[in-house]
Amino acid sequence: MNDVFGPVFARIAEGAVEREADRRLPVDEVEWLREAGFTKLRVPREYGGLGATIPEFTELLIELGRADSNLPQLLRGHIGFVESRLTHADGEVRERWLRRIAAGVIVGNAQSERASTSWFAPETTLTPGNRLNGRKFYSTGSLFADWIQTTASLDTGGTANVLVPASAPGVTRIDDWDGFGQRLTGSGTTLFEDVAVAAEDVEVVDLAAASSLAAVFQLVHLATLAGIGRAAVADTVAYVAGRTRNLHNPAHPSPGTDPQVQQVVGRIGGASIVAGAAVAAAAAALEEVHRSHPAGQELLDRADIVVFGAQGVVARLVLDLTTELFDVGGSSAVTERFRLDRHWRNARTLASHNPVIYRDRIVGQYLLHGTSPSSAYATLREGVGEGP
């Protein structure tokens, strides 16, 4: 599959620095991915997709993250939605959506809210007659989507996943994401003002249902971080190769022959390799869950622990290497023309999603007491903190 997507990734990478400098949303780049079939990679061939395994798809996500880390993140909602359709209990719903996705439909995400204290109790509402009203933030990818998946509280109690066409009357998408990293993911505000929703596009959330979706969503972040690591190493090597003098060590006029510079490059290169290996292990654990569907609680717990354990390792490795890379040069390494800072800014932004400290605790509880990661979400369902 690299033969198909490699040239697309290379084309995306060519303009990545300029897009960031100009804050130009990657609208064309998303279309290139759609046209190449990237958005239907996980859809089985019988539905018109490419039938990629989770490990195969994850490796391609890492390479896309290397080209431009905004792209895998802005497709994160779509990726999670596809996984939810692959295991959907209703065969008619499953086929309808998988065929739509195989035809090129992209689904965006609009679930988080600034005001709500819990993902499981949104202030957005779906009233009798299926009219949707609310305001969402962190609507990652919705600016590029054909459909938007959101959440709403029901007047009868409970929460529903709601799907609406992005172009439906009453839907407004605003590019107001002001983070210092991942600036081009379209992670801004989405407004729903008296939006009509089809009955077939309302799915009541079963809070007791076991699922690997939290781990799937985190895997996307991990793959993106690993991609940033690869890009940072490649940019560091190019930076060193382009330098013509070594101010700090006259014994080695060329920076590339300086043992200390070589040591830095070796360390960050090794860190990137380990990060990629950790992500591959997480992908393999989720593939086992997928192949065993419906998976038992023990297998689901193991996948969560592998993914959440990898989260702490990968985030720290990539944050460290995107800082240490500056040791290969003097003040010139921080000039705007190289924009090496974007790697740390983007990694820091991604690592701030679902903070590592909470995942570390889940892993620790499991190792010490055998506590199922699912119990951590039970606390969230009671209204404490944000959703997974």
Q: Which of 105-114, 137-146, 324-333 has the lowest mean pLDDT?
A: 324-333
Pairwise CA distance, residues 386 & 123, whole Å: 13
Convert the pLDDT of each residue in 165-215 to its tens digit: 999 999 999 999 999 999 999 999 999 999 999 999 999 988 778 889 999
Which residues on adjacent β-strands are paired with residue 174? 189
* Portion of the chain with pLDDT greater than 70, in percent: 93
The answer to whether the pTM exceeds 0.75 is yes
- pLDDT 10s digits, 325-344: 999 987 778 888 889 999 99
Binning pLDDT at 50, 70 and 90, where does residue 388 land?
very low
pLDDT of residue 387: 37
**pLDDT at residue 383 in the model:** 46
Q: How far is CA 229 from CA 62, 66, 123, 259, in A?
A: 9, 7, 38, 22
What is the per-residue pLDDT for 118? 66
CA distance 204 to 206: 6
Give me the pLDDT at residue 384, please: 38
More confident residue, 254 or 278: 278
Residue 381: pLDDT over 60: no
pLDDT at 379 over 80: no
- Give domain limits for the chain: 2-105, 108-204, 213-381
Query: Is domain 213-381 given the CATH code 1.20.140.10 in the classification?
Result: yes
Angle at 387 between CA 386 and CA 388, to 5 degrees: 125
d(CA 66, CA 68): 6
Q: Note the pLDDT of residue 353.
A: 85
Residue 255 has pLDDT above 80, yes or no: no
Q: Round to whole Å and give the CA distance between 202 and 164.
A: 9
Superfamily of domain 2-105: Acyl-CoA dehydrogenase/oxidase, N-terminal domain (1.10.540.10)
For 173-212, letters b (16+ CB in 10 Å) and e give bebebeeebbbbbbbbbbbbeebebeeebbbebeeeeebb
Nearest to 206 by CA among 315, 61, 88, 74: 88
* Mean pLDDT score of the chain: 92
Cα–Cα distance list, 65 to 76, 135, 300, 368 (Å)? 12, 29, 26, 35
Q: Answer whether residue 260 shows pLDDT above 90.
A: no
Type of residue numbered 26:
P
Q: Is the pLDDT of residue 3 over 50?
A: yes
> Which residues, 6 or more positions from 145, have their beta carbon under 8 angstroms from its beta carbon?
77, 78, 106, 107, 108, 166
Per-residue pLDDT reduced to its tens digit, 266-275: 999 999 999 9
In this prediction, residues 53-81 reach a mean pLDDT of 98
CATH number of the structural domain 108-204: 2.40.110.10
Q: Given this model, what pLDDT does residue 334 score?
A: 87
108-204 and 213-381 share one CATH topology? no
* Average pLDDT score over residue span 118-142: 90
Q: CA geometry: angle at 56 spanning 163 and 278, to 5°?
A: 100
